[in-house]
Structure 1
Amino acid sequence: MVTTAREQRIQRNGFYHDRVPEFTITVRAKPGASRPRIGGAHGEPPELIVAVRETAASGRANAAIETAIATEFGIPPSMVDIRAGHAGRQKTVALYVPDGAAAQATLDRLLASGDD
């Protein structure tokens, strides 16, 4: 059986793709920010704002965004996967979380925490 790189990462972290629910969020990326932060909403429906110091060159900002989201949601970075918008500011991000209700509560808190 051939597995994808994402499935291999999930298996290495003790989670299995078929047992862990996928939680999808929309993110508004701000690469090259002077101050890294995560929180606040942009647009309607609301997109979670994630500002990182890394520039968009060579995917460094995407990796930093995945790490920042993982830290806030309390999961390993390998459990965060940018599904769409790799080259744009608007991104669709999948999180593999054991508790969807807790993830929704975290997202709601982060969306409400911004000053934008």
Structure 2
Amino acid sequence: MTDEERIAIRKLYRAQRQVRASIGPQVPSQVVQAFLAVADNEGLTLTELADILGTNVSTASRQMLDLSDRNRKMEAGHNLISRTPDPMNLRVNRYTLTPKGRILIQELAETMKD
């Protein structure tokens, strides 16, 4: 392994530890991917995010629920994303980061810089 590869791996490892500390030690990687997809594509719909994630809408919906204020079991969620009805079509929700989600993204960006 080159020094550059070793540095990249260490950064990724630190970022993964940060995510687990914020979301939980048992968080599935698909939920982390869903969080990052929202962060990189704020304002998209569930269908659009499901396409980006390469999954079906029902799976993406469960992941988004787990990341929002209440999970699919109506228990406290991770509160990292929020969904807002589209004012032009109230049947459609758009997903964005919460303040807590923005802080996590800022922390991850700082980790990746070092």
Q: Which is higher, the Rg of structure 1 or of structure 2?
A: 2
Q: Same fold (TM over 0.5)?
A: no
Normalized per residue, which structure has more helix? 2
TM-score after normalising by structure 1? 0.28
TM-score after normalising by structure 2? 0.29
With a CA cutoff of 8 Å and minimum separation of 6, indicate the structure with the bigger relative contact order.
Answer: 1
